[in-house]
A and B are shown apart, each in its own frame.
Chain A
């Protein structure tokens, strides 16, 4: 992953005018009904939330080391080399562990459908492979959202928050949950915009230890049980031999069986 360049989106909250062009572009490209929705839903993979006089765009953060991809037992969710976290609906069994695992509470489930799937933004992976921009970024009339190579996007964000004193001196997404592919910069503290404060440790590290212990548990547990069984069995043999002994006039060979 380190050798290949990945894509990232930067959302500058100070620039967003709340026109919802991104929402509409997203709905259009996915063929969803056009009605504006207040929260993320299976038919709204990005939404603009009002927080006072700021507009905060919600979408999948496409983490660098995604909790959902580590959780998915069949590997339907994947971190692609290009950066987006994609969802292969043909693999999904509908366990919903990705929804349980996501630290940003992003994936949505089609609860009303008889054949339900998980829905989340994948940064328009199919478009980006062809060199096009994500639909939401392309639609933004004021370039509040921009897309580019991750390092360059991070540099741009860094430049903006250093040059202009109004910005909070943090790029949301640079560290959160081990880093993401979607960044936010803002002039209002992120916790006031309903954005979760998260540790910089990638979520999958939380389960890595438990899974790494498996071979040890199997080996130690298995040997312990086998050892205990050997002792039990040996005791039985000795007890059996001692029972036999008096009648066999000290013939100790029975003990060896």
Chain B
């Protein structure tokens, strides 16, 4: 028990610190990296709770896919940090007062009196042959099948909304059409012969024009 408790405090402290860094970093990319750290240590906490499957999925899905995508988006966007921070100092005193009051209130309620160890005795450890995946799957597809399907509909709405709000057919867009590309024939489509005036001829023409120019200047 002792070592587990030690691990818990280490990971919990890392999570809280990382979460604090997420909201205080100037550079949004740094903030996202700290968020990745927060997710990672939360996954470790879940492992301690014997929710191994959820912990691994958190790392695979959130850290591996969602946050990487998020980083991409962040690097694509041109965020003006100055305007983002413009109201920061002005609203800081009020924000700090409200945050402190709320934090104290929450601590009073969510303290050991209501959520302490004696209120929630440690559940018995799961047997070695209990499979996390099986348990989660059973619950999702039996008791919670209705909310599960609803979540699927919400994702569909997300897709439709994103397409409606962003997809525009721009007439001038340049893009490659692979079906046309592979139909290119060897002869006429790949090589085109262009008749070109030789460079020597060009130079002579240029010289003649210069002479004519200087004669005009002289006469004027």
Is B a genuine binding partner of A?
no
